[in-house]
Structures are given as C-alpha cells and as structure tokens.
Chains A and B, each alone.
Chain A
Amino acid sequence: MAVMQLSIPAYHKEIESLCDLTGKAAVDARFTERTIYACQLAIGEACENIINHGYKQEGIGEIELTAESSPGNLILVLRDSAPPFNPAIEPSLPHWQEEDPPVGGLGLIIIHRVMDKVKYQRIKDQNILELRKTEYQDSLPRIKRKLHS
C-alpha cells in the first residue's frame, strides 16, 4: 500500500495540487483514466465545500489530504479545522423539471456519485472526511494469473 500526504493553505488556487495528488494515487491504484478524473473531481468538490461552507472564506486554516492506494482501491482522507461541516449526508435528488434543473448542491451530488463510501467524523476539533473508491479491473486478475503461471 502506498501512502501520500499533502497539506495546503485553504485557498481555492491550492486545490489543484490536491487534485494532482489524488490523480497520482489513483494511478497507483491502477484505475482507468475516467475513474482517475472522477476521483480528482470529487476531491476538488470536497475541498471547495471545506473552504466555502466550512471555513466560509479563503485563507483560514489548512486542508490536509492523505491518499492510500493499493491495486483496485483508493482511500482519500481530508482533514480540516473548520467548524463542523458534514458532507457525508447524501443529498436527496427530487425529480426535477428540465426547465428548472438544480444549480445548488452539485458538488455533493458529484462526490456521492463518484465515491463508493463517504464517511464523516468530528474528532478533536477536526473534520475528517473519508472517501473510498474501488475499481475492479479485468486486467488485474489476468496479470496475477500470468505471474503465477
């Protein structure tokens, strides 16, 4: 299992570096290109939420990302010191009309649609958001079979 960690000051311009780290970890997890991008998108949305709804402004506090990857599995843990903010509550998606589509809550929708598990904890004045993604690829068992044949 590979572990990578990065802390950023809570500015929007810094979010891209956490997306990059997520991309590297997702590559290590041997995810497909589309899943790698989806995970980067989800972590970007989670960080935007921390700044906009947790800290409520830029430049206050930090965001720390720990990424653990193994073949087929990725665990992303975000820690911040903002007031309690729980994005793990899955947004309800009422049926919407084409003329009145949703404009709010899209970030949460993306996080929950991309990740398999979204878990929130508040420990010692920290928000801890754990995002898990699993992607089984046909190629992995084949590679293992080749190695063992």
Chain B
Amino acid sequence: MEITTKEYRRVAVVSVSGRIDTLTSTQFEETINELIEKGHFNLVMDLSEVDFLSSSGLRILVTSRKKVREKGGDVVMANPSQRASDSVEIAGLDKLFMSYPNREEAVGSF
C-alpha cells in the first residue's frame, strides 16, 4: 500500500493505492489520525487506486468519519475504484460516504 496526503486550507486529501487490509490498516489509520490531530476535519479519501479494501480498512473509514463529524467535518470519497466501492457496498456502508467522480469535486464539496 502507498499513501500520500495533500493538505489544503479547509480540506486534506488522502490518496491510497494497493491493498488496505489488516497488514496495512495501521498505517492508514495513523495517517488519518495525524491529519485530524492537525485540525483537518474535512477529509477526502482518494481510493481510485485501491485494489483491495477489507473490513480492517472499512473500520478505519467508519471510525475516522465518526471522529471528524464530532468536530463538524466529514469524510467523502473521490473516484473510488470499483473494488473499493464494492467493499463499501457489500458491508452496507455506502450510505455513509458521499462519493464524487473526481478529486476536484470532492474537495469542492466542502
């Protein structure tokens, strides 16, 4: 898994490629927590290059969403891959995350 972040004034974008599973979810969680600790409560998850998203990764998304919403923010998705979308949908979490066709629209939603 590779993970990069880009911080804007009002939004932070987390871009992930590869597998988000029990092996990599700790790194995913730590990256998000660092952004939240810096005061970024509006988060865009660019999951366009994710080819496997297990329940470990889904748990991080759900807990992160809860944390930022308590601070008035939200977690949205930008152009999630078919596989990432399928994982979210199979787990029944698709109603929780707004999804935008590209990163610009996702950033602009805040």
Contacts and interface: CB of A to CB of B under 8 A. Distances in A.
A binds B: yes
A18 B56 CA distance: 17
Nearest to A42: B90
Interface stretch (B7-15, B18-26, B34-42): B18-26
Nearest to B89: A113
A37 B96 contact: no
Interface string A72-100: 00000000000000000000010000111
Given A34-B82, A41-B52, A114-B90, A99 B59 contact: no
Contact residues on B (Cβ < 8 Å of other chain), bracket: 20 to 34
B92 A38 contact: no
Interface of B: 19, 21-23, 52, 54-56, 58-59, 62-63, 65-66, 69, 82-83, 86-87, 90-93, 95-96
Interface of A: 12-13, 15-16, 19, 33-34, 37-38, 40-41, 44-45, 48, 52, 93, 98-103, 106-107, 109-110, 113-114
